[in-house]
Amino acid sequence: MAIERYDLSICIGCANCVNTCPCDVFRMSDDGKKSIIAYPYDCQVCNMCGAFCPTGSIMVTRDKGLKIPTNYR
């Protein structure tokens, strides 16, 4: 997966990741106090969530977790 959490306990529930993600990856928890990664496989590695997270609790990597098969000879 391209998106993970460093530490959910430092999430302050500001909803910046929810509001800035163009792929709608995040949702607020049922109690509205934390954002959760609801659709991690929809992440397109734009890093908008990480750029706007004031606590740095989100980690975005370039690895999408899927290997593209190639046929080189």
Which CATH number characterizes residue 12's domain?
3.30.70.20
Residue 66 domain flag: no
Residue 56 domain flag: yes
- Higher-pLDDT residue of 16 and 72 is 16
Residue 69 domain flag: no
User: How many structural domains is the chain composed of?
Assistant: 1
pLDDT range class, residue 28, cuts 50, 70, 90: very high
What confidence score (pLDDT) does residue 4 get? 85
Residue 67 domain flag: no
Alpha helices per DSSP H over 1-73: 16-20, 48-52
**pTM to 2 decimal places:** 0.77
Residue 48 domain flag: yes
Q: Quick one: average pLDDT of 50-56? A: 93
Residue 4's nearest CA partner among 64, 68, 66 is 64
Range of the domain at 7: 3-60
Tokens of 23: 């792929």
Tokens of 56: 């740095």
Residue 9 domain flag: yes
